[in-house]
Amino acid sequence: MPKNLIKTLKKSPLFKEFSKKQLEQVVAHLKPGILTLKPGDVLYQRGEDARCCWLIQSGNLTVRRLSLRTPFRHMIYHEGSVTGIQGLVSPGTPRSVTMIAEDDVELIEVTREGLGKLDKSTQIQLWKNVSSLLLRKLLTCLSRESLDP
């Protein structure tokens, strides 16, 4: 196992509290792959089917969304941050935004393929972590929304 792959998996909230054995299962069954983007490259496009998610190893991304006031939004990521979680949670559904590389970006691609091969305790921990990630994203979105008419 490449050391920087394991280092990033350990830092990711997606694999929070995973043991060394569980991380080995992730590498063996989910077969995470490395993806490199150049500035301006599109990671995913609005409307395309979600098939996977990515962990950030390095670099920055910008979101292009349907908003007249702020169509572009710089995203702040750290090593291990997750983007495109929809690909794990609801594969095949259309992406709602476009994600673009601001500079050189290195990512780890994680697919649903092989999830069923993880032992039950690892699956439970993974879905618990996914739930925490989604709740945090929801609360962040809600905190940005104005409740005033």
The arithmetic mean of pLDDT across residues 6-13, rounded, is: 92
The string of pLDDT tens digits covering residues 10-27 is: 999 999 999 999 999 999
Q: Which residue has the higher pLDDT, 78 or 83?
A: 83
**Which residues fall within 8 angstroms of residue 89, CB to CB, at 6 or more apart?**
130, 134
Query: Could you tell me which CATH class the domain 3-133 is placed in?
Result: mainly beta
So what's the pLDDT on residue 100? 94
Q: What is the pTM of this model?
A: 0.84
Taking residues 135-148, report their average pLDDT: 72
The pLDDT of residue 148 is 46
pLDDT of residue 44: 95
pLDDT digits (tens, 9 = 90+) for 56-65: 999 999 988 7
Residue that wins the pLDDT comparison between 143 and 98: 98
Edge-to-edge, what's the strand order for the sheet holding 42-44? 42-44, 98-101, 61-64, 72-75
Q: What is the pLDDT of residues 80-130, one digit of tens each?
A: 999 999 999 999 999 999 999 999 999 999 999 999 999 999 999 999 999
The per-residue pLDDT for 72 is 58
Give yes or no for residue 149 having a pLDDT over 50.
no
Mean pLDDT of 48-71: 84
Closest CA to 88 of 131, 143, 56: 131
Per-residue confidence (pLDDT) for residue 138, from 0 to 100: 85
